[in-house]
Structure 1
Amino acid sequence: MRAVVLTEFGAPLVVGDVPDPVAGGGEVVVEVLAASVAPYAAEVFGGARRYPLVPPVVPGTGGVGRVLTVGSDATRLRPGDPVWCDPTVRARDDALTPDIALQGWSSRGEGGARLARHLHDGAFAERMRVPTENVYRLPAGALDDPARWAALGVYVIAYGGLLAGGLEAGETLLVSGATGNLGSSAVAVALAMGAGRVVAPGRSRAALGLLAERFGPRVRPVRLTGDGDTDRAAMSTAAEGPVDMVIDLLSPGAPSVVARTAAMTVREYGRVVLMGGVGMLGGDDFALPYPWIMRNSVTVRGQWMYPRTANVGIVRLLASGALDLAPERVRTFGLDAVNDAVAYAAEHGGPYERTALLMGRAVNNRAQHMA
């Protein structure tokens, strides 16, 4: 099969023939039709993010495709089923604190590194080997536009954070990083879950205007000035009442003061969920004041990725139309143009901008539709 290979950090990705994957016990082989290219993929492949990938490796987080073969432990999956392949792989020998790896992308600790060595290759290939429990059936129509459905991989992360914070219908949510690729996805998911209003701070007038235009008065844009006191007051005013929950999805390059200012808009007994990358590349600590957390009974929670059940929930939101993929701006590339795709994604990481690789028969179908 053809696949993308990261041969070393800082080198261009190489496309070539590699052996077809063979499923072991508890695994499924999926024909990949589309895989999302993250806006920060260039930073991963260049080594700037210091992800624990071990080249040579087929990268790529999650894919949309069709089941080819299933193991004897699969009781409902069938060859031909349209599926989403969740890259968040958990060890099966510790239900309380399982080691985790993001297949073809990253891992946590030595246990996660062992998982990554076993499930080494990701979704930038015509086929991939996936644990049975990481394969989720999609509506049949998803394969009519698999590149658009590949955005599921971004939305499920945001959904996992909102589940972690216990977002309830009618509540007011503040999304720190709302104008980014992931943060804007959280805005859309929160509204699909029934949030009463979403405060969306950011610096880009264009991005804030896009959010307001797409979602109407339930989104409250706030243009940040960089002054903590001014910005906190503006966000609180935009909420027109208590902020029940804050979710931070800022990128690693964002100053910690921006995340801290947003977090401190939350009401007494409110919740703060930390899911972004602040501090991962150095810089000042997040440093929320101990007395403020204690006296206001604020819950602060970290969340990496999402529980398995989030995959089912996000598919339901998408299939029902409560979360609409139609406005997504999707640019597709074939495998041979993967380096162009990575460069394009880096320059187009704004709200609802998606970059995807198309593989195999998905490329042929696209060519037929364009003919």
Structure 2
Amino acid sequence: MDIHAAVVNSFDNPPRYEPFDLPAPTDEDQEVVDVLAVGLHPRVRTGASGSHYTSTGKLPLVPGVDGVGRRADGRLVYFVADDELVGPMATRTVIDSRHSIPLPDGADVVKIAAAMNPAMSSWVALRRRVPIEAGQSVLILGATGNAGQMAVQVAKRLGAGRVVGAGRDQARLSALPGIGADATVALTDDADVTATALAKEAAEVDLVIDYLWGKPAGDAIMAVLRARADRGRALNWIQIGAMAGPTIELPSVALRSANFRLQGNGQGAVSTRTYLEELPSLVEEIESGGIAVTAKAVPLADVESAWNAPEVPGVRTVLVP
């Protein structure tokens, strides 16, 4: 089937909009949908560069991890892309219907495509990885990124009693109280100043959602643990992103001197079925405005320029065929 798609022919170059031969469905669980909206998420970029841990190294490929489409019967559907199928950045694609959920008529497809992926990380982390208890406190490390901003909102929606947002972008940091943060911490180049601020605002948190990793996470772990009044009280650290670096240097004493639990949340850490079970409730939150998102729709034909354009803080680009 001839379609047009954003095609990656080299991991060193952005996708190009060009004709593509879409393979036909191979079993009864697969179907062709008209693609309506696809988010240009950081996870999409790493997949298209071959640097994500799930990359097979095979080219050419059509990128994308999720999207909104229209079935042959006219119904709207949100779907999670299957690693074995053509990606969703195309005019049409094949989906595994078992990895999709119906959307209400009139749903804002651009908003859903923009919000589901970044919001899903913290939503699933706090609902399934380490279920949050009403009134618990949460630190969002990397709260000035798109996913981090949504995590602030998600934590509040799920019952957090106190949410602390930590990040480097001062302008976006100052906006966090308006979306639910009870306190903020500026991550600066002065390690002592940052550690003091974290000790003051986040020493007694119950959970941490970490989008940074790298040195900021290592420093933050030690700052929080050292300031904790009762090191026997559980601190669950959920690692999701690695915007500050893929590795961490952590003294072994961090794991021996406190009730400190370090785990991740992502593909493999949580089953596809678990993610799918959480999708309907997350769609409801996004549609109702409980989790806010700012989206910018760009024609799929302009994917190459959209790919190269600098990201606007707080805005998620959505490609629309």
1:288 Cα deviation from its structure 2 partner? 2.6
Residues 1:16 and 2:18 are matched in the alignment: yes
1:40 Cα deviation from its structure 2 partner? 6.8
TM-score with structure 2 setting the length: 0.84
Residues 1:158 and 2:160 are matched in the alignment: no
- Corresponding residue SS for 1:208: helix
- Corresponding residue SS for 2:123: helix
Give the aligned length. Answer: 305
Q: Residues 269-307 of structure 1, C-alpha deviation per residue, up to 9 Å, x if partnerless?
A: 2111111126865xxx42333223223121111222444
Paired residues for 1:21-100 under 5 Å: 21-25=23-27, 26-39=29-42, 45=48, 51-68=55-72, 79-87=73-81, 89=82
Letter of the aligned partner of 2:311 in structure 1? E
Q: 1:23 to 1:330 in 2, by over 3 A?
A: same
Letter of the aligned partner of 1:259 in structure 2? A
Identity among equivalent positions (%) equals: 30
Q: Distance in 2 between matches of 1:356 and 1:135?
A: 19
Match of 1:147 among 91, 110, 132: 110
Letter of the aligned partner of 2:87 in structure 1? G
Q: 1:311 to 1:47 in 2, by over 3 A?
A: closer
Q: Distance in 2 between matches of 1:15 and 1:339?
A: 7
Residues 1:242 and 2:204 are matched in the alignment: yes
Paired residues for 1:273-352 under 5 Å: 273-277=238-242, 285-305=247-267, 306-307=270-271, 308-320=273-285, 324=289, 327-344=292-309, 346-348=310-312, 350-351=313-314
What is aligned with 2:8? 6
Q: Distance in 2 between matches of 1:269 and 1:146?
A: 40
Q: Residues 182-226 of structure 1, C-alpha deviation per residue, up to 9 Å, x if partnerless?
A: 2222222111111112111111111112212233xx431111223
1:325 Cα deviation from its structure 2 partner? 6.7
1:357 Cα deviation from its structure 2 partner? 0.6
Q: Distance in 2 between matches of 1:236 and 1:246?
A: 14
Paired residues for 1:92-131 under 5 Å: 103=83, 118-119=84-85, 121-131=86-96
CA contact (8 A) 2:184 2:201 kept: yes
- RMSD in angstroms over aligned alpha carbons? 2.7
Task: Please say which of residues 259-268 and 177-186 is displaced more in the overlay.
Answer: 259-268
Q: Distance in 2 between matches of 1:27 and 1:201?
A: 42
Q: 1:278 to 1:358 in 2, by over 3 A?
A: closer
Q: Distance in 2 between matches of 1:213 and 1:226?
A: 26
CA contact (8 A) 2:118 2:150 kept: yes
Residues 1:182 and 2:147 are matched in the alignment: yes
Q: Distance in 1 between matches of 2:248 and 2:39?
A: 30
Q: Residues 19-41 of structure 1, C-alpha deviation per residue, up to 9 Å, x if partnerless?
A: 34422222232221000012475
Q: 1:208 to 1:299 in 2, by over 3 A?
A: same
CA contact (8 A) 1:5 1:14 kept: yes
Q: Residues 212-254 of structure 1, C-alpha deviation per residue, up to 9 Å, x if partnerless?
A: 2233xx4311112233343233123224x6110112112xxx7
Letter of the aligned partner of 1:195 in structure 2? A
What is aligned with 1:362? none
Q: Distance in 1 between matches of 2:285 and 2:51?
A: 39
Q: Distance in 1 between matches of 2:238 and 2:183?
A: 20
Letter of the aligned partner of 1:15 in structure 2? Y
- Corresponding residue SS for 2:165: strand
Q: Distance in 1 between matches of 2:243 and 2:109?
A: 32
Letter of the aligned partner of 2:17 in structure 1? V
Q: 1:191 to 1:168 in 2, by over 3 A?
A: same
1:315 Cα deviation from its structure 2 partner? 3.1
Q: Residues 138-173 of structure 1, C-alpha deviation per residue, up to 9 Å, x if partnerless?
A: 22232xx21111021221122222231222221111
Q: Distance in 1 between matches of 2:75 and 2:44?
A: 29
Q: Distance in 1 between matches of 2:26 and 2:298?
A: 31
